[in-house]
Structure 1
Amino acid sequence: MDKLTAMRAFMTVADQGSFAAAARQLGLSRSQLNRQVLWLEDHLQVTLFNRTTRRVSLTHTGKAYLENIVPLLDNLHDTEAQLQQGQTGLRGVIKVNAPMSFGLSHLTPAVLAFMQQYPDIRVQLELSDEKRDPLSNQFDVTLRIGKPESNPALIEHDITHTSRRIVASPDFLAKYGEPTEISQLATLPCLQYGSLLHGNYWDLMHQRTAMRVKINGVLSSNNGDVLKQAALQGRGLAFLPTFIVGDAIGQGALIPVLEAYQPEKLVISLIYPPNRHMALRLSVFVKFMQDAFEDNDFIVG
């Protein structure tokens, strides 16, 4: 029996959750489909499905096998589609992880434009401010904001950059005055990204010298939009990327202060392990995002 056909039969049963539904999708009889899956199990010398009279579920071995063959079969389809139809024939799933704020305000519109151009590619976009391991099999590609990765086990593609600013509302500055020395951050109310328990400080730079500055943290959050809202209400000074506060700065709702202590810009990049590199749909996705953000550096000032 053709091994590739059996693998596709197995994948379809796993996707549909039943032999009957998978058989209908493939245009086969249940007995034909069952023979293909049984042949594959016999060939591999493993049991891929738990079978009862009411349901079919993957065994632990079946789950591991499925996780490994889906990229292979999708890549095979991508290659065939490129040869036969061009890149518009690409299909499959791209699982993307990105930080919440950038994902909502900037990445989502680009992803929707990508799906418009490649309607047969499905995107699973998970937004979370929790840092995920890009080497896990949970995601195909991870959007990371920070210093360039130094991990040789990862492939990294820069898509844009962002600067960061210390900002405050006009009402805050009217009440406390504009700070002129970073030592004032130890007493003025500050809005901290992260946890107050894990250190009240900001990493700044002055005349190309990095410095860690103690702050008076009155509110902490793992989401930059929360801190932006607090800053707009005059609750404190915020130190945030300009992809979050750039619009408010442009409107005069937030005012940059202590500009001489601006740190280096951050890289916004897409990273993924080398075993994902062969997926044509992922290469197309990365190139689309690079083009989408080519003229959109989030640099203010």
Structure 2
Amino acid sequence: MDKLTAMRAFVGVARLGSFAAAARHSGLSRSQLNRQVLWLEDSLGVSLFNRTTRKVDLTHAGQAYLENILPVLESLDDAESQLQQDQQSLSGTIKINAPMSFGLTHLTPVVLRFMREYPQIQVQLALSDEKRDPLSNQFDMTLRIGPPDTNPALIEHDITYTSRCICAAPSLLERIGEPLTPDALKDMPCLHYGNLVHGNFWDLQFQNKTHRTRINGVLSSNNGDVLKQAAIEGMGLALLPAFIVGEAIRNGQLKPVLLAWQPPPLLISLLYAPNRHMAMRLSVFVKYIQAAFEQADFMLE
């Protein structure tokens, strides 16, 4: 007799508390199911059930055996389910939410490469600078840039980090001078990211200590590219991540200032709901994003 089949028969009886109910659930006759459990007891040399005319209870040995084999059977079920999904699961739709600037410049090229490699997968990419909850908005995952998420209902998969810097157009610095200390920012035009919760303050870091500095905000926006363009045109100093201003700094359009007072890096992560049976297309996408951005340089020297 197949021991695995007998183990599943035993688990069915243990869960339902009845040979008759387990037989109906499995599609076997009661006598067939009973023979499988008896054979298992004989092979183990123990009684797994206390049988009476009214009910069936697990013995102490039966309870211990149940606790030991359940993880094994669940692992086997997972392996079979994974094999059954295989190519079929590499199809369907992935719904992704990401910030606008990062999504346009960095995520979109990676998504397009992913779709060329997996042509049976459709992607719905929603770009927004609003902080959206993937659960209530029915996204499979959200790419988040910022402090670690504290929602216990979500898994946060760390991808990489991006540095940030204060920068300005050389023409502006020639006109008003470079700030030598953070206190100087309160008298200089600054371009403020509108979604920051701290108001007109920038949190800067010096010797691993964070200092909150008041700024003179002359323009605010919830989009980093707007602030970058304003900075390039000499409208003020901006505090922005490297993935937005890196190229402008390299080609001389912007110049970093207050290099000793840089803010801490921001975490780039993927958020999604915990699911022991995550669809293979989602698992493949997470690994693809991880590999793509591990090679990216989002840190300024």
**TM-score past 0.5 threshold:** yes
| Bigger Cα Rg | 2
Whether the 8 Å CA contact 2:85–2:280 is kept in 1: the answer is no
SS in 1 for 2:252: coil
CA-to-partner distance for each residue in 1:79-138, whole Å, 9 max, x for gaps? 5341xx5x8x61011000000000000000000000001101100000000110123252
Please identify, of 95-104 and 207-216, the stretch whose mean Cα deviation from structure 2 is larger: 207-216
CA-to-partner distance for each residue in 1:144-178, whole Å, 9 max, x for gaps? 00122233321111222100000001100110111
Whether the 8 Å CA contact 1:196–1:217 is kept in 2: the answer is no
Whether the 8 Å CA contact 2:161–2:299 is kept in 1: the answer is yes
Q: Which runs of 5+ in 1 are unaligned?
A: 1-75
Partner of 1:292: 292
SS in 2 for 1:130: coil
Partner of 2:192: 192
Partner of 2:110: 110
Q: Cα–Cα, structure 1 residues 91 and 214, in superposed 2: closer, same or farther, change >3 Å?
A: same
* Number of residue pairs matched by the alignment: 222
User: For 1:148 and 1:273, how far apart are their aligned partners in 2?
Assistant: 15
Matched to 1:199, the amino acid is: G
* 1:222 to 2:226 alignment: no
1:279: how far off?
A: 1.3
Q: Cα–Cα, structure 1 residues 110 and 152, in superposed 2: closer, same or farther, change >3 Å?
A: same
Matched to 1:145, the amino acid is: I
User: For 1:276 and 1:249, how far apart are their aligned partners in 2?
Assistant: 44
Partner of 1:210: 210
Q: Which runs of 5+ in 2 are unaligned?
A: 1-79
Matched to 1:80, the amino acid is: Q
Supply the RMSD in Å over aligned alpha carbons: 2.1
SS in 1 for 2:96: strand
Matched to 1:162, the amino acid is: T
* 1:274 to 2:264 alignment: no
User: For 2:244 and 2:202, how far apart are their aligned partners in 1?
Assistant: 17
SS in 1 for 2:294: coil
SS in 2 for 1:213: strand
Q: Cα–Cα, structure 1 residues 123 and 78, in superposed 2: closer, same or farther, change >3 Å?
A: farther
Q: Cα–Cα, structure 1 residues 220 and 77, in superposed 2: closer, same or farther, change >3 Å?
A: farther
Please identify, of 290-299 and 149-158, the stretch whose mean Cα deviation from structure 2 is larger: 149-158
Please identify, of 138-147 and 197-206, the stretch whose mean Cα deviation from structure 2 is larger: 197-206
Partner of 1:133: 133
SS in 1 for 2:235: coil
Matched to 2:175, the amino acid is: K
* 1:80 to 2:84 alignment: yes
TM superposition outliers: structure 1 runs of 4+ over 4 Å: 76-79, 195-198
SS in 2 for 1:261: coil
User: For 1:169 and 1:201, how far apart are their aligned partners in 2?
Assistant: 21
Partner of 2:240: 240
User: For 2:138 and 2:179, how far apart are their aligned partners in 1?
Assistant: 45
User: For 2:239 and 2:286, how far apart are their aligned partners in 1?
Assistant: 29
User: For 2:276 and 2:121, how far apart are their aligned partners in 1?
Assistant: 16
Matched to 2:204, the amino acid is: L
User: For 1:284 and 1:196, how far apart are their aligned partners in 2?
Assistant: 33
State percent identity of aligned pairs. Answer: 65
Please identify, of 143-152 and 171-180, the stretch whose mean Cα deviation from structure 2 is larger: 143-152
Partner of 1:92: 92
Matched to 2:132, the amino acid is: R
Whether the 8 Å CA contact 1:163–1:298 is kept in 2: the answer is yes
Partner of 1:252: 252
SS in 2 for 1:102: helix
Q: Cα–Cα, structure 1 residues 106 and 209, in superposed 2: closer, same or farther, change >3 Å?
A: same
Q: Cα–Cα, structure 1 residues 98 and 78, in superposed 2: closer, same or farther, change >3 Å?
A: farther
User: For 2:269 and 2:143, how far apart are their aligned partners in 1?
Assistant: 6
CA-to-partner distance for each residue in 1:33-84, whole Å, 9 max, x for gaps? xxxxxxxxxxxxxxxxxxxxxxxxxxxxxxxxxxxxxxxxxxx9975341xx
Partner of 2:119: 119
Partner of 1:265: 265
TM (norm. structure 1) is: 0.70
1:209: how far off?
A: 1.1
Q: Cα–Cα, structure 1 residues 163 and 181, in superposed 2: closer, same or farther, change >3 Å?
A: same
Partner of 2:155: 155
User: For 2:276 and 2:127, how far apart are their aligned partners in 1?
Assistant: 20
Q: Cα–Cα, structure 1 residues 156 and 277, in superposed 2: closer, same or farther, change >3 Å?
A: farther
User: For 2:292 and 2:151, how far apart are their aligned partners in 1?
Assistant: 26
